[in-house]
Amino acid sequence: MSTSSFSSFTPSTRFAVPGRIAVSNRAAALWQTATLTEIRRETPHAATFRFAVPAWAGHLPGQHLMLRLTAEDGYTAQRHYSIASAPDDAGHIELTLDHVEGGEVSGWFHTVAKPGDEVEVRGPLSGFFAWPGDRPALLIGAGSGVVPLMSMVRHHRARELSVPLRLLVSARRPEELIYARELGTETTPVFTRSAPEGVPVGRMAAAHVASVLADQPPGGWEAYVCGSNAFAEHASRLLVEAGQPVDRIRIERFG
Amino acid sequence: MNVTRGFTGRDRVHNPGLPPGQYDAGDDWPVLSAEVTPELAPADWTFRVDGLVERPHTWDWDEAHALPPSAYEGDIHCVTSWSKFGVRFGGVSLDAFLDVVRPHGSATHAVAYSHTGYTTNLPLADLTGGRAWIAWEYDSEPLAAEHGGPARLLVPHLYFWKSAKWIAGLRLLDHDEPGFWEQNGYHARGNPWEEQRYSGD
Ligand SMILES: Cc1cc2nc3c(=O)[nH]c(=O)nc-3n(C[C@H](O)[C@H](O)[C@H](O)COP(=O)(O)OP(=O)(O)OC[C@H]3O[C@@H](n4cnc5c(N)ncnc54)[C@H](O)[C@@H]3O)c2cc1C
């Protein structure tokens, strides 16, 4: 075949403003001790763990960290967790963990951890999913996928930002909606198994996305999708079908 | 060592195939990509190698499949801490593509880029000598779109973010040029055995 017609490939990343947030390589490489100071139950399956990390370099909403647990024999387990708290919580960070059935790390947090315990963290990591509060943000999450999005919502509130922000969040039932008490008028919850009186039950659908996309702020939305891979695939497809440009969709998949 | 009170870890048999800091994901194959999974049909897939080569070339699906088949059977390691043992990929060795384009002696690195715009950088030495593939089959089935199908780069001896999904091409360079995650703080090379996760490791 001829090769001449393919000369237009460019090996440059075309995601919206790639690497728009510079990450500190030093912070990313350094393990620090995080001391658990408080545990707050959010839902029957999720709890928030608050840590003191005195030398925390600060983060942007949407970033995550790497957390490490070490057994007496030196065995370690490390997992990524999104940061739930807003950046202004100096010297402290909060994580919200789902209790995964049979989970090694989340299992330790939900059955053993208590205030005073120490774990190790490194980060913040990844600028790609971060939202510094500069652009209209359409946030779509499911289950614990709401965690990094909540950091954005909290940041928006704490700084009284006027840039538009909307959150579509899916949960099985109202009792399983993480941060339910804190969600406000920016949020549309979607319940897949059972819902309060008068609220429909069902998956996130084109109509949910369409109503937000119809309400375009100047310059359009920057979409942030977070959750399980199945949810991320579903939600990102809804966005694309509704006309959101693919290079303005950022996805954080929990695996 | 910072022992975590009451943490014993799961029942484990030490697996010498497991690099430090990794766990065995078993049958799971987590999906981690930052972009929307593209709908890319085999008929629309192309793979180009250019840059510091004598004869830049673009293969389409049929032409790539006409190259001698080569399989990888072994393990893969993701920087998010999971490893997967005994996976089987089918495709073509990258050497077969490089034989056609004939890299210049000055080429030392490559930028791999995807049909989505994702990029990642690799030393050329990590792509030659039977250590890298263009893979389109997994377990004798077509590679699923969410795992990079119709075809992905496969560099199993490095962390898996180097194995660019939906591979579109390689550009050979005489210097290293950080790709998507490398610009976001990841390590330039990503050797799992040396735990090269983040820049500075
Ligand atoms: C960028 C990123 C951000 C994330 N943010 C969050 C967050 O904010 N909140 C959150 O809750 N999660 C988050 N996650 C997911 C998190 O990293 C972990 O995957 C999750 O907590 C499960 O870890 P675990 O150790 O508890 O479970 P694992 O031990 O890893 O187990 C996971 C699954 O595998 C099964 N399994 C595997 N091996 C065995 C075995 N030998 N025996 C029994 N069962 C087994 C478990 O039953 C379970 O279903 C994030 C992931 C990523 C990549």
Q: What is the pTM of this model?
A: 0.92
Q: What is the DSSP string of A71-127?
A: -TTS-EEEEEEE--S-TTSTTEEEEEEE--TT-HHHHHHHHT--TT-EEEEEEEE-S
Hey, which of B8, B80, B159 would you mutate to test ligand 1's pocket, going by the most ligand atoms within 8 Å of its Cβ?
B80
Check residue A181 and give its pLDDT: 95
Q: What is the Cα–Cα distance from A121 to A118, expressed in whole angstroms?
A: 10
Q: Are B12 and A126 an interchain contact pair (Cβ–Cβ within 8 Å)?
A: no
Average pLDDT, integer, range A53-78: 94
Comparing CA positions, the residue from B83, B92, B108, B102 lying closest to residue B28 is: B83
Q: What is the Cα–Cα distance from A88 to A58, expressed in whole angstroms?
A: 8
Q: Does domain B43-194 correspond to CATH entry 3.40.50.970?
A: no
pLDDT tens per residue, range B64-82: 999 999 999 999 999 999 9
Chain mean position to CA B108: 18
Tokens representing A208? Answer: 């949910």
pLDDT category, B200, cuts 50, 70, 90?
A: confident
The 3-state DSSP class for residue B58 equals strand
Hey, which of A106, A121, A228, A229 would you mutate to test ligand 1's pocket, going by the most ligand atoms within 8 Å of its Cβ?
A106
| B 163-192 → A contacts, CB under 8 A | 168-169, 171, 179-180, 183-185
Check residue A26 and give its pLDDT: 72
pLDDT category, A17, cuts 50, 70, 90?
A: very low
The 3-state DSSP class for residue B140 equals coil
Q: What is the Cα–Cα distance from B84 to A66, expressed in whole angstroms?
A: 20
Check residue A19 and give its pLDDT: 46
Average pLDDT, integer, range A84-102: 95
Average pLDDT, integer, range A81-95: 96
Which of B177, B198, B199, B201 would best serve as a mutation to test chain A binding (most A beta carbons within 10 A)?
A: B198
Q: What is the Cα–Cα distance from A249 to A46, expressed in whole angstroms?
A: 27
pLDDT at A12 over 90: no
**Looking at chain A, which runs of residues are DSSP E strands?**
32-43, 46-52, 64-70, 76-82, 92-98, 118-125, 137-142, 165-171, 187-191, 222-227, 249-253
| B 22-41 → A contacts, CB under 8 A | 23, 28, 30-38
User: What are the structural domain ranges in chain B?
Assistant: 43-194
Check residue A10 and give its pLDDT: 52
Complex ipTM, two decimals? 0.90
Check residue B103 and give its pLDDT: 98
For chain A, what is the mean pLDDT? Answer: 91
Report phi then psi at A23, rounded to 5: -95, 150
The 3-state DSSP class for residue B99 equals helix
CA torsion, points B136, B139, B143, B146, in degrees to nearest 10?
-140
pLDDT at A174 over 50: yes
Q: Which residues are CB-contacts of A36 (< 8 A; sequence separation ≥ 6)? A: A49, A50, A51, A113, A114, A115, A116, A117, A118, A119
The 3-state DSSP class for residue A176 equals helix
Check residue A1 and give its pLDDT: 37
Q: Tell me the Ramachandran region of residue A58: left when phi exceeds 0, alpha when psi lies from -120 to 50, beta otherwise.
A: left
The 3-state DSSP class for residue B44 equals helix
Report phi then psi at A169, rounded to 5: -130, 135
pLDDT tens per residue, range A152-167: 999 999 999 999 999 9
Q: Are A112 and B23 an interchain contact pair (Cβ–Cβ within 8 Å)?
A: no
Q: Are B5 and A117 an interchain contact pair (Cβ–Cβ within 8 Å)?
A: yes
Check residue A6 and give its pLDDT: 39
A95 touches chain B (CB under 8 A): no
* Alpha-carbon distance B139 to nearest alpha carbon in chain A (angstroms): 20
For chain B, what is the mean pLDDT? Answer: 95
The 3-state DSSP class for residue B197 equals coil
Comparing CA positions, the residue from A253, A63, A241 lying closest to residue B146 is: A253
pLDDT tens per residue, range A193-238: 999 998 899 999 999 999 999 989 999 999 999 999 999 999 999 9
The 3-state DSSP class for residue B200 equals coil
Report phi then psi at B192, rounded to 5: -60, -30
Q: Out of A231-245, B11-25, B121-135, B158-172, pick the least confident.
A: B11-25
pLDDT at A5 over 70: no
pLDDT at A54 over 80: yes
Chain mean position to CA A204: 18
Check residue A20 and give its pLDDT: 54
Q: Are B200 and A251 an interchain contact pair (Cβ–Cβ within 8 Å)?
A: no
